[in-house]
Structure formats: C-alpha cells, structure tokens
Amino acid sequence: MEMSEYNRDQLEAIQMVQRQLGTLSKGQIGGLRRRIGPYLQFRGEVADFQKQHFSEMCTEKCFTSQTSACCGREGIATFFADVVMNVLLSKEEEVEGLLQALSEDTGGFKCVYLHEKGCLWRLKPIVCEMFLCEHARDTVLGKDELLRDQWEKLRQREKRYTWPSSPVLFDELEEMFIRVGLDSPLMYYHRSPGLLRVKAKHIKNPPKRPA
C-alpha cells in the first residue's frame, strides 16, 4: 500500500527531528529540555485533570465500545513542535515504533498512532490533549461551574504556548529548525495563512511590555 501524504509528512518530520537532535551537544539538549520545562508542567496538569474527570466516562462511552470520536484517521493536525518535544522525550525504540506504525500502516478508520495499548506518542500532540467531544463537555463540565472554570483556565494557559499573538514556544521550536535550513509541511507557524496573520498583527501591534 502506498504511503499517504499525511503519513509521509509525519514520517519525514520525525526523521528530520531525530537527525537534527542527534547533532546537538549534551549541553544543547539540556538547554532544550529546560526550555520546554514549563510546558511539560502544564501538560502534566492537563493530563491529571483529564484523568481525574474524564477517563472513567471516556472508557465507558467510547473505549469499551470502540466508537471513539477521538483518534480518527488523519483527524488531527500535529504541529512540528509536537514532534520535536515528543522525539526529545522518547526513547529510541519509541521513535522507531512511530516510524514503523507510519510505514506499515494498512489503512482503516483509526489514527495511525493508535495501538492496542493506546497512543504511541510519549507526549501526545497538544490538539489531542485538549480535545473534548460535546458529550464529554456536556456530561462532565455541563453543570459544574467550578470544573468549567478550571478547564477554561487550562485552555487559556495552552494559548501561552501555542497562540502566536505573542512569541510562543511552538513557533520558537519551528524557528530553531528553520534556522539550520530545515523545512516541513508541519511547520504551521511559518506556513498556515491563519497563524501567519496572527503573527503579522502582533508585529504591527506588539504587546506592551511591563515597565
């Protein structure tokens, strides 16, 4: 079966990141790990929130019946920065597992990364982490104002890393690879007209810096 464009873009991005990270010194890798520390802290908090409030309902509603609206085939946009952070945090065999899943994909309805034991990513893409279907939102957040408020705060925090109306980590990580001459269709912060417009607006009207 010929590899789909989606799988090829993913595979090439993972290999590119793997190669480039392999050229960095221990000190540079350490610097990169420190740079993403606050984001990982945030991701840990989101994961705890999801586990505490949604895992039971999701298991009951979807995973036991295998009818999940999450994890559909080619249903998510992975950002280049998602790939960078995941490869950085993964063991070599985990990265090989991703590459193998992409190259041995035989089609179907499920995301290429979804395997029997769950998602193959060590740190799954941010779009996956922040996704809640309508049923999940209504059932769990529906009448609970406090929980809704907590979820909204997490969504606002997510924007500090991903929404480029000010300099954000996701853009910065792409930039790091572009500066050494690399390019990928997953570099949405440098390719997506919508995100480029947000960035251009920010450059024209830079946010006021605190005195």
Using CB under 6 A as the binding rule, whether residue 125 contacts ligand SF4 is answered as: yes
At its nearest, how many Å lie between ligand SF4 and the CB of residue 75?
A: 6
Binding mask 101-120 for ligand SF4 (x = CB under 6 A): ----------x-xx----x-
- For 60, what's the count of Cα atoms within 13 Å in the CB-facing half-sphere? 8
Count of all residues that appear for the chain in the document: 211
Using CB under 6 A as the binding rule, whether residue 71 contacts ligand SF4 is answered as: yes
The tokens describing 51, both together, are 């586990």
Using CB under 6 A as the binding rule, whether residue 195 contacts ligand SF4 is answered as: no
Using CB under 6 A as the binding rule, whether residue 76 contacts ligand SF4 is answered as: yes
Beta carbon nearer to ligand SF4, 71 or 195: 71
Using CB under 6 A as the binding rule, whether residue 186 contacts ligand SF4 is answered as: no
Question: Using CB under 6 A, which of 132, 141, 168, 186 touches ligand SF4?
Answer: 132
Phi, psi of 165 (to 5 degrees): -80, -5
Using CB under 6 A as the binding rule, whether residue 46 contacts ligand SF4 is answered as: no
Beta carbon nearer to ligand SF4, 130 or 196: 130
SS3 72: strand
Contact (CB, 8 A) for 125 and 76 = yes
Give the dihedral of Cα atoms 124, 164, 191, 21; nearest 10 deg: -50
Q: How far apart are CA 93 and CA 99, in angstroms?
A: 10
At its nearest, how many Å lie between ligand SF4 and the CB of residue 23?
A: 26
What are the distances in angstroms from CA 166 to CA 59, 73, 161, 194?
A: 37, 32, 9, 15
Residues that bind ligand SF4 in the complex, under the rule CB under 6 A: 58, 61-62, 68-71, 76, 111, 113-114, 119, 121, 124-125, 128, 132-133, 135-136
